[in-house]
């Protein structure tokens, strides 16, 4: 390792990191991934201007303990989950000359932390909730002459830097009110806590990235009772819309469905008022007589049958 290389955090970010460290900093992890605040912006000095370098970062366990928040403070509450090899992320700028790296701060603002162990997103790092982690920056010297070539793990390590005051505890929701106040004060994108007040602490953490304000997952829209029209496929003929004609409701004829059945009266003894229903009293005053039904004579046994022609 080279003792000439000097690495520091950018001045304004360094001050916020130290303030949050005094209250035991917390970082929210979500399934969809969450960016860290404060950012990790390093200022590098002492690199050879004409040599090629690559920057890499990873988050390592600070200890072998699990934590819990009790009575306003974090205390150790058992053994940590089994450690795995930490995921290491190269800086997206790839291999650059020492002159280029030293010209501007080295920022890892694309890194996201998640509590989903099977995430395949290249920019996400899996962390266990209620465990303490600390970022580590590693600088490698590359032998490749192509500035944008992909660095190899076998590249010579120049230096590895870790600042203890950048350690934090991964949580799914903020526990310490003092941490919330500091992040609201210095993070312009912490609008969810400003609008919702301090009651947001015990709720499930929102999916809005603290450093960018972008929502990583939007809420599900409410269902609408209105039926949505389906557009026809491209190229399909557009048929004219038509409406079936509305026919009037048929009116029932009372003379067909309301008259009584007469055959039960004997011939010649038809009642003078065969319509006893009060809804039709006028039918009893008809000007014509009502003829009884004609009874069909039974066919005699000796009468020959006539075949149909």
State the Cα–Cα distance between residues 139 and 162, nearest whole angstrom.
12
DSSP per-residue string spanning 48-93: -TTSEEEEEEEEEEEEEEEEEEETTEEEEEEEPPPP-PPPEEE-TT
State the Cα–Cα distance between residues 280 and 286, nearest whole angstrom.
11
Give the closest residue to 187 by CA, choosing from 211, 207, 167, 166. Answer: 211
Q: Tokens standing for 237?
A: 């003929």
State the Cα–Cα distance between residues 107 and 13, nearest whole angstrom.
11
Judge whether 136 and 61 are in contact, CB under 8 Å. Answer: no
What pLDDT is recorded for position 119? 85
Question: What phi-psi label fits residue 68: left (phi over 0), alpha (psi between -120 and 50 degrees) or beta?
Answer: beta
What pLDDT is recorded for position 245? 65
Angle between helices 177-186 and 11-22 (to 10 degrees): 160
What pLDDT is recorded for position 101? 96
Q: What is the DSSP letter of 217?
A: S
What pLDDT is recorded for position 187? 87
What pLDDT is recorded for position 267? 57
> What is the β-pairing status of strands 52-70 and 41-45?
unpaired
Domains of the chain: 6-193 (2.60.40.820)
What pLDDT is recorded for position 84? 86
Q: What is the DSSP letter of 30?
A: B
Provide the residue-wise pLDDT of the chain in tens; the chain has 309 residues.
556 899 999 999 999 999 999 999 999 999 999 999 999 999 999 999 999 999 999 999 999 999 999 999 999 999 999 888 899 999 999 999 999 999 999 999 999 999 998 888 999 999 999 999 999 999 999 876 554 455 565 578 999 999 999 999 999 999 999 999 999 999 887 765 555 544 444 444 444 444 444 444 334 445 555 444 556 566 666 666 666 666 666 655 555 544 455 555 555 555 555 555 454 455 445 555 555 665 665 555 554 444 433
State the Cα–Cα distance between residues 177 and 99, nearest whole angstrom.
43
What pLDDT is recorded for position 66? 96
Residues 6+ apart with CB under 8 A from 21: 165, 166, 167
State the Cα–Cα distance between residues 7 and 98, nearest whole angstrom.
13
Residue whose tokens read 């203890």: 164
Would the pTM count as exceeding 0.85?
A: no
CA-atom Rg of the chain in angstroms: 45
What pLDDT is recorded for position 142? 86
What pLDDT is recorded for position 215? 40
């Amino acid at each position: 390792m080279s003792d000439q290389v000097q690495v520091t955090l950018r001045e304004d970010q360094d001050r916020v990191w130290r303030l949050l460290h005094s209250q035991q900093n917390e970082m929210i992890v979500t399934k969809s991934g969450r960016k860290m605040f404060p950012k990790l912006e390093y200022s590098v000095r002492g690199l050879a201007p004409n040599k090629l370098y690559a920057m890499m970062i990873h988050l390592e366990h600070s200890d072998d303990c699990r934590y819990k928040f009790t009575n306003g403070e974090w205390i150790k509450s058992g053994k940590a989950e089994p450690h795995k090899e930490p995921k290491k992320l190269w800086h997206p700028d790839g291999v650059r000359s020492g002159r280029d790296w030293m010209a501007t701060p080295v920022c890892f603002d694309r890194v996201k932390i998640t509590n989903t162990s099977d995430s395949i997103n290249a920019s996400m790092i899996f962390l266990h909730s209620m465990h303490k982690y600390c970022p580590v920056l590693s600088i490698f010297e590359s032998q490749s002459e192509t500035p944008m070539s992909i660095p190899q793990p076998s590249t010579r390590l120049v230096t590895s830097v870790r600042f203890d005051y950048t350690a934090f505890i991964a949580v799914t929701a903020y526990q310490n009110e003092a941490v919330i106040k500091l992040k609201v004060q210095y993070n312009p994108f912490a609008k969810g806590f400003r609008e919702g007040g301090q009651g947001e602490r015990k709720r499930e953490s929102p999916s809005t990235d603290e450093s960018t304000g972008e929502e990583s997952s939007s809420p599900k829209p409410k269902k609408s009772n209105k039926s949505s029209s389906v557009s026809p496929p491209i190229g399909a003929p557009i048929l004219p819309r038509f409406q079936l004609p509305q026919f009037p409701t048929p009116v029932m004829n009372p003379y067909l469905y309301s008259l009584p059945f007469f055959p039960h009266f004997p011939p010649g003894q038809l009642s003078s008022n065969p319509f006893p229903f009060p809804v039709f009293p006028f039918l009893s005053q008809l000007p014509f007589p009502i003829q009884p039904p004609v009874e069909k004579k039974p066919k005699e046994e000796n009468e020959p049958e006539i075949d149909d022609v």
